[in-house]
């Protein structure tokens, strides 16, 4: 017997797990003819809404209503598809840049933006919404998604977890450990890497020597798929297939979506220091909303009424968000001591008393000198 | 103590189907210290699971399992091997309840074998408790007796908050019979293991035995020394600590971990803040030195010993005490 015949030491052939050399595309290919017009119009409406949401949230930073906003402008096809690919009972594990996905999952936009406006960290109930808290450290939420999916599978429940991460996050140890655990456990989880080219300022070439990020899956016995992240129907098709496969016991998939962060990392970032205007313009030419709109126009599926209706719905969402975000959230200082533990420790009760006394002094205007 | 811990795991799993055990070598082997012995055989691989060798992945997965209603008990194989999981513990387990305003509880128990005295090579004898006690959102518990090993672990597993459960390695192989009862004082209460009027040794986990031996050795020297076993470092039982210190007027805190920025420093500060006028002497500490854990051939010089604790007692400014006590040469 040769070493490779010893099946205890060598795993099965990896070929089936490998991503294609070219990203999966639908728009501009013959496959586009087979798309359901209703699905496309739904994608279109969500993309219009998503673009407007990004614009409004960015404006709210300038108005001082948000402390920070990591925009997903240019990545809306990924955001929309991630939300639409899931069923009600499934879970989404977002990062700070994925608030659009969270909103499209049905979470109230104001609750979604609680963290980013400087109010309490998570404004929504993860159990009620089946959306995990926005994760600001990188990739640390991926093992959570795997654990949840694993627990659901062990319980015999039909639940899939979708975990979002960026290209930079794939360098983190937790990314590798999550992929490895998911592979070993056959957990029903889909990892969506939105490769937007930069981890803040560091380009992909300095992040990895892997042929693609989707190739990273193969080392863990996980299927890797490479997809054009600005092709909304391709994104929805690939993610839906991955979710269905996970649901049917086919195990995890790592999807790498090739996309671009058109805006800076956040409002605090200066993207001109690390990338050229020409590069940004080239990506604007591949804008996911424009591409779908062009396809729909060329195939005669987009009339003025639909466009106006989509834009009006987006304006209503934006106006509502604007109005509600202009109301300052109530601040309750004694809430500092809530929810540290199920029951406060004696020490926390003492500190609460201390703050209470301090606040009373303030009210009476008798602060000690 | 390993047998008491094993019984606690078994009884918790039998009582509650949501209790899962996961870690490295916890299945067929029963854990490197045999604490999980027989659990996979009895409850199946889905309930007691050998994981890949990756501590952050283990703890991170356990957090996700909690999100789905499980009550995981994670085994970290050795104290220093728990450090890769630090981010998951400190950044996520500890904060999840707070950042979701109470919507998400993490009923998670992280068992960590800790401490030295077993001749372990490097990275196998650390006492990491201060890292955990410094993190709001974690309970930090450590048994020093077999009854507490059983009872406190059952309580930790039943807790709706993450509990770092520190198991003194040097006590694993003791064969004392234990009571299979939940009727031990709750997490957060310290227990006076030995009453005494003249001074109190405040300690926990692996150092309890040293302190009890010291108190015994001090008796023929005319000193009646109390020993307080904290059991729970977070929450800390300030009430009992202060009550004993006020009664005795003298206190020494004893632990294996390095002293600088350690649990002993916190306790000494709290006593000074709360009991200053009842103190007859400064609160002293007997701890490990501020060095990386030494090799086995040198560890006896590092660990708190009976002699070292007796010396500390002798330094508690006994001059002028009615009846006078001399511990010189003790």
The complex scores an ipTM of 0.94
Residues 145-184 of B with CB under 8 A from A: 159-161
Contacts of B136 in chain A (CB under 8 A): 340
Task: Please identify which residue in the block is written with the tokens 């300052």.
Answer: A328
Of the candidates B179, B184, B140, B163, the one whose C-alpha atom is nearest the C-alpha of residue B3 is B179
CB-CB under 8 Å, A146 with B87: no
pTM attached to this predicted model: 0.95
* pLDDT confidence of residue A9: 79
Q: From B126, B191, B186, B133, select the one nearest B164 (Cα to Cα).
A: B133
B105 at A interface, C-beta within 8 A: yes
Interatomic CA distance for residues B45 and B22, integer angstroms: 9
Catalytic-role residue among B20, B123, B124, B255: B124
* Burial class, A212, CB count within 10 angstroms (exposed 0-12 / middle 13-18 / buried 19+): buried
Q: Do A346 and B57 touch (CB under 8 A)?
A: no
How many Å apart are CA B214 and CA B210, to the nearest integer? 6
Whether A101 and B53 have beta carbons less than 8 Å apart is answered as no
Chain B residue with minimum CA distance to A184: B52
- Predicted local confidence at residue A11, as pLDDT: 76
Three-state DSSP class for B165? strand
Count CA atoms within 13 Å of residue A33 on its CB side: 2
Task: List the single residue in A122, A150, A174 with the smallest CB-CB distance to B99.
Answer: A122
Q: Which residues of chain A have pLDDT under 50?
A: 366-369
Q: Name the burial class of residue B256, with classes exposed (0-12), middle (13-18) and buried (19+) by CB atoms within 10 angstroms of its CB.
A: buried
- Residue A99: both structure tokens together: 């608030």
User: Do A338 and A120 contact (CB within 8 A), yes or no?
Assistant: no
On whether any CB of chain B is under 8 Å from the CB of A180, the answer is yes
Going by the DSSP 8-state scheme, the letter that residue B88 receives in this structure is: I
Annotated catalytic, A150?
Answer: no
pLDDT beneath 70, residues of chain B: 320-330
Q: Exposed, middle or buried: residue A344 (CB in 10 Å: 0-12, 13-18, 19+)?
A: middle
pLDDT score, position A91: 98
- SS3 state at A62: helix
Q: What is the CA radius of gyration of chain B?
A: 20
C-beta separation of B61 from A298 below 8 A:
no
Residue-wise pLDDT for B54-83, tens only, equals: 999 999 999 999 999 999 999 999 999 999
Q: Is B60 within 8 Å of A143 when comparing Cβ atoms?
A: yes
Q: Which of residues 17-76 of B touch A (CB under 8 A)?
A: 20, 46, 51-52, 54, 56-57, 59-70
Instruction: Assess A181–B contact: CB distance below 8 Å, yes or no.
Output: yes
Q: Which of A148, A181, A340 sits opposite B98 (nearest CB)?
A: A340
pLDDT in tens, A167-223: 999 999 999 999 999 999 999 999 999 999 999 999 999 999 999 999 999 999 999
Bridge-based pairing of strands B163-168 and B109-114 is parallel
The interface residues of chain B toward chain A in range 117-146, judged by CB-CB distance below 8 A, are 136-137, 139
A173–B103 C-beta distance less than 8 A? no
Say what the pLDDT of residue A368 is.
Answer: 47
Pairwise CB contact (< 8 Å): B64 & A150: yes
Chain B residue at shortest CA distance from A111: B100
Mark yes or no for CB contact B61/A147 under 8 Å.
Answer: yes
């Amino acid at each position: 017997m040769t070493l490779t015949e010893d099946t205890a030491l060598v795993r099965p052939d990896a070929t089936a797990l490998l991503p294609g050399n070219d990203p999966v595309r639908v728009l501009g290919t013959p496959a586009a003819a087979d798309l359901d017009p209703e699905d496309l119009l739904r994608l279109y409406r969500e993309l219009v809404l998503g673009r407007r949401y990004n614009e409004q949230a960015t404006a709210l930073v300038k108005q001082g209503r948000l402390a920070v906003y990591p925009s997903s402008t240019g990545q809306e096809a990924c955001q929309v598809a991630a939300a639409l690919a899931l069923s009600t009972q499934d879970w989404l594990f977002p990062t700070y840049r994925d608030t659009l996905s969270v909103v499209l999952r049905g979470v109230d936009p104001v609750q979604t933006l609680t963290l980013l406006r400087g109010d309490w960290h998570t404004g929504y109930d993860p159990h009620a919404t089946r959306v995990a808290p926005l994760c600001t450290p990188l990739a640390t939420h991926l093992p959570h998604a795997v654990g949840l999916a694993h627990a659901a599978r062990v319980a015999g429940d039909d639940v899939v977890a979708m975990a979002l991460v960026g290209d930079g996050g794939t360098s983190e140890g937790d990314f590798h450990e999550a992929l490895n655990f998911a592979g070993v456990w056959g957990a029903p989880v889909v990892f969506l890497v939105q490769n937007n080219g930069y981890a803040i300022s560091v380009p992909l070439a300095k992040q990895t020597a892997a042929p693609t990020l989707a190739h990273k899956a193969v080392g863990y016995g996980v299927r890797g798929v490479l997809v054009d992240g600005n092709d909304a129907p391709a994104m929805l098709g690939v993610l839906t297939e991955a979710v269905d496969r996970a649901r049917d016991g086919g195990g995890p998939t790592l999807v790498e979506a090739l996309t671009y962060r058109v805006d800076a990392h956040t409002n605090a970032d200066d993207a001109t220091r690390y990338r050229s205007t020409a590069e940004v313009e080239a990506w604007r030419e591949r804008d996911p909303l424009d591409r779908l709109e062009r396809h729909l126009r060329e195939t005669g599926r987009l009339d003025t009424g639909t466009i106006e209706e989509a834009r009006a719905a987006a304006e209503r969402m934006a106006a509502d968000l604007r109005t509600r975000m202009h109301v300052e959230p109530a601040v309750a200082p004694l809430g500092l001591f809530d929810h540290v533990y199920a029951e406060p420790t004696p020490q926390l009760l003492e500190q609460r008393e201390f703050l209470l006394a301090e606040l009373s002094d303030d009210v009476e205007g008798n602060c000690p000198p | 103590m390993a047998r008491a811990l094993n019984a606690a795991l078994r009884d918790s799993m039998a009582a509650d189907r949501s209790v899962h055990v996961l870690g490295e070598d916890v299945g067929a082997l029963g854990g490197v210290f045999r604490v999980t012995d027989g659990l996979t055989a009895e409850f199946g691989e889905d309930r007691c699971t050998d994981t890949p060798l990756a501590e952050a992945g283990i703890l991170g997965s356990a957090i996700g399992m909690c999100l789905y209603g499980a009550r995981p008990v994670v085994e970290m194989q050795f104290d220093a091997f728990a450090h890769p999981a630090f981010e998951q513990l400190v950044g996520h387990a500890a904060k999840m309840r707070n950042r979701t305003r109470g919507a998400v509880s993490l009923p998670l128990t992280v068992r960590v074998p800790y401490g030295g005295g077993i001749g372990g090579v490097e990275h196998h004898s650390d006492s990491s408790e201060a890292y955990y006690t410094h993190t709001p959102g974690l309970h930090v518990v450590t048994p020093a007796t077999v009854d507490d090993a059983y009872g406190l672990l059952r309580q930790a597993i039943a807790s709706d908050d993450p509990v770092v459960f520190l198991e003194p390695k040097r006590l694993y192989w003791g064969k004392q019979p234990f009571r299979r009862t939940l009727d031990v004082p709750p997490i957060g209460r310290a227990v006076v293991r030995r009453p005494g009027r003249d001074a109190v040794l405040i300690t926990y986990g692996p150092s309890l035995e040293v302190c009890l031996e010291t108190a015994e050795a001090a008796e023929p020297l005319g000193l009646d020394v109390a020993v307080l076993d904290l059991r729970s470092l977070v929450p800390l039982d300030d009430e009992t600590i202060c009550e004993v210190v006020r009664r005795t007027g003298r206190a020494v805190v004893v632990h294996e971990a390095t002293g600088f920025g350690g649990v002993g420093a916190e306790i000494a500060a709290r006593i000074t803040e709360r009991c200053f006028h009842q103190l007859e002497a400064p609160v002293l500490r007997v701890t490990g030195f501020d060095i990386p854990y030494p090799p086995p051939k040198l560890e006896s010089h590092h660990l708190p010993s009976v002699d070292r604790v007796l010396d500390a007692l002798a330094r508690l400014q006994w001059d002028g005490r009615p009846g006078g006590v001399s511990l010189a040469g003790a």
